[in-house]
Amino acid sequence: MGRVAVSRATLERYFDAFNRKDIAGMLDCLTEDVAHHVNEGTVRIGRAAFEEFCGHMARCYDETLTEMVIFVAEDGARGAAEYMVNGTYLASDAELPEAKGQGYRLPAGSFFSLTDGKISRVVTYYNLSDWIKQVS
């Protein structure tokens, strides 16, 4: 299997694990020193920081990603995905609006670097003001 196919399979496995709420499965797709660039947040380095972030997200949000389109660069070193986030706001998160089980749906995208078939960089973007408007 070539690098492009390996990279695409890794990204598909990553998003499949996300939709199954399988944090361990997501972690298995990452390098030990993964750089996680959070929307409107700081960069977290390493699988442990990524796992902590996922645990927090699972407590506050129930999300499923649909309408997934995955792109992989010709050399397999970078990839991207565009999708819809379909979610329920479960528990109030930091300084964000109060959670009352509100539903939301918004477009989002992620960008990736891949090294030896593993994700070494994850960058996720979505419109935070749109999300706030939907849950307020």
| 75-91 pLDDT tens trace | 999 999 999 999 999 99
Count CB atoms within 10 A of the CB of residue 91: 12
Can you give the CATH number for the domain in which 94 is found? 3.10.450.50
Count CB atoms within 10 A of the CB of residue 79: 21
The reported pTM is: 0.95
Residue 101 has pLDDT above 90, yes or no: yes
Decide if 83 contacts 109 (C-beta within 8 A): yes
Could you list the residue range(s) of the whole structural domain that residue 59 is in? Answer: 3-135
**Overall number of domains in the chain:** 1
SS3 131: helix
pLDDT in tens, 30-59: 999 999 999 988 999 999 999 999 999 999
pLDDT band for 74, please (50, 70, 90 cuts). Answer: very high
